[in-house]
Structure 1
Amino acid sequence: MSTETIWRTIDGYSRYEVSEDGKIRKKKRAGGYKIINPWLSDNHYKIELTDDYQQRRRLYLHRVVLVTHGPEQPSDKPLALHRDDNPASNHIDNIVWGDKSDNGKMAAQNGKLRPFADQKFLTVEEAAQVRSMHSRGEVAP
């Protein structure tokens, strides 16, 4: 088994390549490559690339990895999801196509969401007390 990193050109961004483990590099005019560092925003890593029409675009790193290295996107699965809900883990083996329902199921399986039955709700009386305190400008102790 080879441990060599697989790089593929990003469709629509021919000056950039993405590895199967989520690294991005830009082809230099003089030859060689420059690694592009993503940043964390809204709990996901983003990158800014210039497309083939010279337009700068901000993209989700995990989605770029999945589009470039993964299977074709099914029409009923619009989201790129991390299997382990870890936005830093952008290897192709950890990213799948899914929908909002799949996202919620994975989050619950990974301990990111409590099951609905475990969630706590206010009683009618407690809600009335909170509204009353709020209207008087009070906060709970």
Structure 2
Amino acid sequence: PAPAAPVPAPAPAPAATPPATDSFTAPEGAGVLEGMLQDMPMLRVFFDSGKTEVAPEFADKAKALVAYLQGNPDAKAVISGFNDPTGDPAKNAELSKHRAEAVQTALVAAGVPIERTALEKPADTTDTGASNAASRRVDVVLRK
């Protein structure tokens, strides 16, 4: 009989970065999580209820994303705002937009040229995440 094929070695475990999925743990209020999406840095920026202030740690957490953009001139930061399902839908849509604009301003302040950013309204801005706190966020993903 033919010899058995060798068993492939298991793939090395991926580096410990927070997943860019709904399994992340959102802070209760404002905060920033960094992660990877399709081998590119991404950010999830969380907000206090009804607020548009970007958390102070944004500049530090955005370093990998800013460095990636500086090294990859064909990449663009796509910024999308979300809100929780409580409150007035029209006011929430406006809040999502203002949060996205606040994150865009913070990215520019961190060294990203404004023309390398794009505000993109998600199909549904009201996110039914794991919690209302998880839904009050802006996602920044890189796109080539």
TM-score by length of 2: 0.24
Which of the two has greater strand per residue?
1
Larger RCO (alpha carbons 8 Å, 6+ apart): 2
Name the larger-Rg structure: 1
